[in-house]
């Protein structure tokens, strides 16, 4: 869609201004090492096995939980000095818990199938975004004033994973207050991308993305209010899933959502292997999954046991559940009981947002990768992939910003970002903090200060035009996708940017953020590597509660495109 003359002028002015600001920032910002050391190669084969396969091997006593946990501890200690992803570990406790698992299995009389049903992740290690409560671990969300905060319990999703037998290794870095796409704060420092340490891992779940992409974790927990699962998954070459809004609990993380933001925040899984996504989602959803779709979780894909049975040649993903659907319940229900035949799905491809003057053009390598996926789906499945251009997507940032600032149904506005920066203390004055930052005296990042400054001029009342665009987009996509549609859409306009460069392309996150507002399930899928050896990827979008469609498609694309690639081989 062509830009108007006014939009072209605005785009030129914006890009010129951002270029000038980038130059000034590079003069004022602290110097970073310009080297880009490569991560050492993976030598332990246990690190190249999916979470569900590890659980199966542990149940069958082909490998001990202690061996698996120790393998990941060794890898973290090897790569974390380069990527700064894990900010606090619990290695000693994790090894003790792994030893308990091994002792339990020694005297186990329960059959493997019953054990799998009761403890599907028994003995498997995992990592957690520091914004979530994990007992005995810090819960600062990168805020210097919360340096001494230690969690006294587990967030509900963490508790569900532990109840399924998984063993937490520690917590990973995030952006300050989880509201930026670079995982950088003045408490833990900057997290690096494992494929190129001069580039960002994304945010706010960037520590999770980095440690997973670097082969130092197999499954992880992230949260997403504007792309905080999907952007790190994209930049680090892994899988990430933003569930349908309301399916997974958001409790137990800081800062808690307020205002209408509670309707947009999502908690979901991040992992290196697509077959782990559906089991993790079922576990994290807890009662929302099991009350309405009690699952017998079966998967044979790469010889593993998990949730989906994928037959690649026929491209049919069978998801078997025994459940009774109730048409009138208030709690969201995952639609996981249906068989998914990928050949019967309708596929659509949207290559870009229509040309918003606020947002960068999509990188040609990403456009080409998306075209290859569309062509591959047509060739492998015999489906037609219809290319669409949706005009309302051009206003994605305006829609996201307006809805995030809106009050909840009771008229209560979201808590001010400047107030969150003060953490129940004195409200931060953004102009003063910016002056302090220029003198390198502020305890806050430039990104957080900039967000607080923008908030000063933001209205809590969305314009009628923006609301109209949101409603039209919502209605169009819900009708388009229905219960059998999957949409291909870029994860971000750029391949992983260099450190701090997102400060000068601040609106690019709206490629992911728009789907938080719409409440749709989205899976980020890796698509190999760029000419620079950096991950490529795209988003798969489905209708509400149709999470299984994107997850089944992700399994197919993992085989077709190779899935996660080890950084040392890039």
Catalytic site positions: 129, 204, 228
Distance CA 350, CA 528 (A): 20
By the 10 Å C-beta count (0-12 exposed, 13-18 middle, 19+ buried), 553 is classed as: buried
Q: Phi and psi for 165 in degrees, rounded to 5?
A: 105, -5
Q: How many CA atoms lie within 13 A of 18 on its CB side?
A: 18
Which tokens sit at 365? 């390598």
Q: CA dihedral in degrees (84, 88, 91, 94; nearest 10)?
A: -120
Find all residues with CB under 8 Å of 328, minimum gap 6, and list them: none
Q: At what angle do helices 396-404 and 464-481 cross, to 10 degrees?
A: 110
Quick one: which of 134, 166, 157 has its CA closest to 68? 166
Quick one: which of 178, 132, 242, 131 has its CA closest to 517? 242
Q: CA dihedral in degrees (191, 122, 240, 488; nearest 10)?
A: 160
58, 101 Cβ separation under 8 angstroms? yes
Which tokens sit at 84? 């700064």
Q: Cite the DSSP H helix spans in 202-273.
A: 206-213, 230-235
Which tokens sit at 431? 């102009």
569 by DSSP, 3-state: which?
helix
Quick one: which of 540, 507, 237 has its CA closest to 361? 507
Q: How many CA atoms lie within 13 A of 369 on its CB side?
A: 29
What residues does 190 pair with on adjacent strands?
Answer: 184
Distance CA 227, CA 513 (A): 5
Distance CA 82, CA 76 (A): 10
Quick one: which of 554, 550, 498, 545 has its CA closest to 520? 545
Placement of tokens 């003045």 in the chain: 186
Q: Phi and psi for 337 in degrees, rounded to 5?
A: -90, -10
DSSP strands (E only) in 225-298: 239-242, 266-271
């Amino acid at each position: 869609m062509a830009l108007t003359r006014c939009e072209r002028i605005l785009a030129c002015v914006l890009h010129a201004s951002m270029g000038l600001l980038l130059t000034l920032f590079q003069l004022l910002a602290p110097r970073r090492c310009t080297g880009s050391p490569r991560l050492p190669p993976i030598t332990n084969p246990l690190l190249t096995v999916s979470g569900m396969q590890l659980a199966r091997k542990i149940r069958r006593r082909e490998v001990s939980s202690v061996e698996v946990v120790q393998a990941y501890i060794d890898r973290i200690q090897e790569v974390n000095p380069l990527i700064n992803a894990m900010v606090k570990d619990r290695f000693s406790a994790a090894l003790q818990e792994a030893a308990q698992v091994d002792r339990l299995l020694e005297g186990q009389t329960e059959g493997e199938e019953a054990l799998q049903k009761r403890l599907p992740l028994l003995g498997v290690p995992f990592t957690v975004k520091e914004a979530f409560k994990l007992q005995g671990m810090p819960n600062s969300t990168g805020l210097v004033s919360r340096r001494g905060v230690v969690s006294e319990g587990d967030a509900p999703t963490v508790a569900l994973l532990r109840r399924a037998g998984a063993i937490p290794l520690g917590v990973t870095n995030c952006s300050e207050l989880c509201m930026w796409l670079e995982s950088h704060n003045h408490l833990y420092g900057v997290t690096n991308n494992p494929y190129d340490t001069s580039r960002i891992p994304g945010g706010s779940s960037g520590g999770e993305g980095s440690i997973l992409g670097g082969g130092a974790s197999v499954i992880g927990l992230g949260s997403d209010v504007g792309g905080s699962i999907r952007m790190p998954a994209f930049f680090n070459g892994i899988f990430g899933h933003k569930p349908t809004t309301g399916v997974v609990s958001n409790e137990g993380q800081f800062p808690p959502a307020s205002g209408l933001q509670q309707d947009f925040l999502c908690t979901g899984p991040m992992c290196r292997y697509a077959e782990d996504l559906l089991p993790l989602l079922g576990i994290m959803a807890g009662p929302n999954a099991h009350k309405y779709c009690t699952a017998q979780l079966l998967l044979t894909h790469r010889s593993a046991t998990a949730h989906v049975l994928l037959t690649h040649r026929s491209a049919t993903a069978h998801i078997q559940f025994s459940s009774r659907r109730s048409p009138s319940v208030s709690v969201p229900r995952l639609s996981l009981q249906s068989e998914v035949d990928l050949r019967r799905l309708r596929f659509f491809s949207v290559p870009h947002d229509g040309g918003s003057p606020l947002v960068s053009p999509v990188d040609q390598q990403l456009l080409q990768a998306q075209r290859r996926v569309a062509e591959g789906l047509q060739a492998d499945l015999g489906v037609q992939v219809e290319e669409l251009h949706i005009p309302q997507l051009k206003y994605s940032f305006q829609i996201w910003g307006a809805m995030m600032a809106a009050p909840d149904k009771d008229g209560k506005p979201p808590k001010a970002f400047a107030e969150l920066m003060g953490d129940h203390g004195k409200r931060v004055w953004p102009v003063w903090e910016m002056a302090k930052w220029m003198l390198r005296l502020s305890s806050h990042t430039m990104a957080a200060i900039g967000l607080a400054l923008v908030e000063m001029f933001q209205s809590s009342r969305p314009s009628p035009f923006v609301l109209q665009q949101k409603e039209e987009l919502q209605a169009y996509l819900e009708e388009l996708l229905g219960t059998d549609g999957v949409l291909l859409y870029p994860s971000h306009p750029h391949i992983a940017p260099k450190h701090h460069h997102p400060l000068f392309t601040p609106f690019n996150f709206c490629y992911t953020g728009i789907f938080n507002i719409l409440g749709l399930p989205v899976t980020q899928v890796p698509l190999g590597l760029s000419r620079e050896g950096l991950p490529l990827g795209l988003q798969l979008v489905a209708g509400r509660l149709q999470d299984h469609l994107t997850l089944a498609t992700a399994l197919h694309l993992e085989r077709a495109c190779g899935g996660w690639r080890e950084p040392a081989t890039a």
